[in-house]
Amino acid sequence: MTSQINKNFPFRLFLAFIILFSILNLIITEPVIPILGFHGIMTSKTPTSSLGDMHYPQQDLEKILEYFIRNNYWFLTTQDLYTFFLTKSQKIPKAHSSQKPIMISFDDGYKTVYTNLLPILDKLEKKYGKKVKVVLFINPGVLERKGSPSSTHLGCQELREGLKQGFYDIQSHGLNHKDLTTLTRQELVKELQQAQIKLRKCTQDLDPQQQVASHFAYPYGAYNKQVQSYASKYYLSSYAYNNRILNYGCLKNYYEIPRIPINRQVSFQKMLDIAEGFHQIKSQQKCENK
């Protein structure tokens, strides 16, 4: 009997080690999702002096999106994030279970999202048969007026085109891109409520479930308790702009979802480091809010 036990001991030890390693790996691997925050998209012909640093090169953006497609990323909408990761009100669909989640967002509604981004999304879908979804945080108060001269911002019709093609997830960024922490309560309510009303009016026949303007991004990333409180009356969640990655296992407040600012100073390689590196983080720290 003793001889038989000794023979099985190495196997049992190995099996115990594998089980222990698996448990530890589950414990220390943080459930994280990079949420990337862009603004406009510049071409090689765009004078960089007129845009500053916050707009991103079209050529690099196409490379990074193609990389994400080829490496099996899941391009989340705001509702995907809310449903499958934050509230967990639904199970992750089997088709996405093996994919790495990421969110690509664009603030302020620059016209280059239509002229320089939409063609890339269409091109990639034709090449790979996969649709890249991007989140647009829009200020409807500064949308281009119909029939007006050239504008730097999108018009309602351009928003509708991207939504109809299934590329855009259109969400609110406030009515006029004001710092909400500086407003009176009446002004704050107007910025939050009217933004939602106008965006849904623009897209109403294309959005029967009213998912447009269900989520919010704070202009300038600025918020306080009062802003959060009023945002919660109109929106399901809100996004900051604080150079942090989302650890959804730790997030307790759906009105403090972190995003990572991306501008033309962020190289292609750094973008890969952000997207790939964070997925492999083994954190030794506890959640800050625990």
Helices 156-164, 185-203: inter-axial angle, 10-degree rounding: 60
Place of tokens 């018009």: 155
- CA dist., res. 267 & res. 145, Å (int): 35
Q: What is the pLDDT of residues 160-183, one digit of tens each?
A: 999 999 999 999 999 999 999 999
pLDDT at res. 140? 96
pTM of this prediction? 0.86
Helix (H, G, I), strand (E, B) or coil at 116: helix
- CA dist., res. 134 & res. 56, Å (int): 15
Q: What is the pLDDT of residues 98-129, one digit of tens each?
A: 999 999 999 999 999 999 999 999 999 999 99
pLDDT at res. 145? 62
Q: Are 216 and 192 in contact (CB under 8 A)?
A: yes
On the question of pLDDT at 28 being above 50, the answer is no
Rg value, the chain, Cα = 22
Report residue 250 as tokens: 């730790």
- CA dist., res. 149 & res. 146, Å (int): 9
